Amino acid sequence: MFKPRKWHSETALRVCQATGKNDPVEGAVVLAERLTQECALSRPSRELGKLASWRAAKIEEIAMLDAGRLIPLFGTDFDFLIQINESHAQAKKNFSIGHEIGHTLMPDFADGPQERLDAETMTWNEESEEEFLCDVVAAEILMPRREFIPYLSSCGLQIQSLSLLAEEFGSSLEATSLGMTRAGLGDFAVIVWELGWRKSQKEESLTLSMFEEWEAPPTKYRTQKVYSCGRMSDFHFPHNKSIEAHSLIAQAANSDEVIRGWQELSVGAGKTENFYTESKAFPLRRNGQLEQRIFTMVHLTDKIPTSK
Ligand SMILES: [Zn+2]
């Protein structure tokens, strides 16, 4: 799932040394795997308090602007305090807890623990290698491969599996999409669509919205996130590319059902390809507002491997 990259940090180096892996991402997975195995947890999201206490950390949910915070403690029964934003959805809280536990697992952090403040988690921000690897740990803590892959295999590589797995493993739909593609069991992609403007319209809105006569252009469904695996990784689905109002994707917005069928999708450079798609609306509460959001599973064939 993750592209090969050059690593520079002491954190990445020490993760490799500690695990015998050449790739820090694989190393971070091993660190998370060891922890969930030591605690003998098959569904860690249901017992994150136990997992945290194994790292001598206690969890506290508080009112805060940030997603999470890790505070080293001295002279108490615990070595760390993990503070989590109490207003976040449970799946998001779970990921943030996993991320903060991830910090405690980083070998160089353990040598000299210092406070970590995370305005957001699950950003997969490659600029900070430690933050990126903590997201890797969080995903593996919530969705241990040894449990997640057989479960996915039994559910089938279809859109219904997304919500089933998210529920089972206590992870968000986006984290679950990543987990599904990371498992690499087939050739498919998951595209997340949200309503929005194209870049130039956004810029225009910033300058013109102060004039009364300015009328905002209608928003369209646009690609926000893409997760892919297998042969589907050969296709590039451009970011923020819109889809027509009559498309199967936009139709899913007005339905409780899964909308299936062949659909042309943009693959960049002005080209389109025909794919078999399954789309379902999963609205998202953001800043107190309910926002529409569509998840599409994109396949090369309409013969989708279903549950066994
Ligand atoms: Zn962090």
**Domains in the chain: boundaries:** 10-142, 153-299
Report residue 238: phi and psi, to 5°: -60, 145
Ligand 1 geometric centre to CA of 283 (Å) = 27
Tell me the mean pLDDT in the region 225-233. Answer: 96
Ligand 1 geometric centre to CA of 65 (Å) = 15
Where does the pLDDT of residue 155 fall: very low under 50, low under 70, confident under 90, or very high at 90 and above?
very high
**Res. 1: pLDDT tops 60:** no
Question: How many other C-beta atoms can be found within 10 angstroms of the C-beta atom of residue 11?
Answer: 23
In b/e form, how buried is each residue of 267-304, taking b as 16+ CB within 10 angstroms?
beeeeeeebbbbbbbbeeeeeeeeebbbbbbbbbeeeb
Domain 153-299 falls under CATH 3.10.450: no
Q: Classify burial at 22, counting beta carbons within 10 Å of its beta carbon; exposed 0-12, middle 13-18, buried 19 or more.
A: exposed
Report residue 116: phi and psi, to 5°: -120, 130
Ligand 1 geometric centre to CA of 150 (Å) = 30
Ligand 1 geometric centre to CA of 134 (Å) = 6
Ligand 1 geometric centre to CA of 270 (Å) = 38
Looking at residue 215, its pLDDT comes to 72
Bridge partners of 264?
A: 274
Looking at residue 107, its pLDDT comes to 95
Tell me the mean pLDDT in the region 191-207. Answer: 80
To the nearest 10°, report the CA torsion of 107, 108, 109, 112: 120
The answer to whether residues 43 and 171 touch, using CB atoms and an 8 Å cutoff, is no
Matching CATH number, 10-142, of 3.40.50.2000, 2.60.40.10, 1.10.10.2910, 3.30.2320.20: 1.10.10.2910
Between CA 59 and CA 54 the distance in angstroms is: 12
- Residue at token pair 């959001």: 293
Ligand 1 geometric centre to CA of 68 (Å) = 8
Ligand 1 geometric centre to CA of 71 (Å) = 11
Looking at residue 287, its pLDDT comes to 74
Between CA 48 and CA 59 the distance in angstroms is: 9
Ligand 1 geometric centre to CA of 92 (Å) = 14
Ligand 1 geometric centre to CA of 99 (Å) = 6
Where does the pLDDT of residue 289 fall: very low under 50, low under 70, confident under 90, or very high at 90 and above?
confident
- Percent of the chain clearing pLDDT 70 (strictly above): 93
Ligand 1 geometric centre to CA of 113 (Å) = 13
Mean pLDDT of the chain: 92
**Res. 37: pLDDT tops 60:** yes
Ligand 1 geometric centre to CA of 96 (Å) = 8
Q: Helix 173-183 crosses helix 90-105 at what angle (to 10 degrees)? A: 60
Ligand 1 geometric centre to CA of 116 (Å) = 6
Ligand 1 geometric centre to CA of 26 (Å) = 18
Looking at residue 126, its pLDDT comes to 83
- Going by C-alpha positions, the residue among 249, 104, 107, 251 that lies closest to residue 189 is 249
Looking at residue 191, its pLDDT comes to 97
Looking at residue 30, its pLDDT comes to 98
Ligand 1 geometric centre to CA of 287 (Å) = 22
Between CA 131 and CA 136 the distance in angstroms is: 9
pTM: 0.90
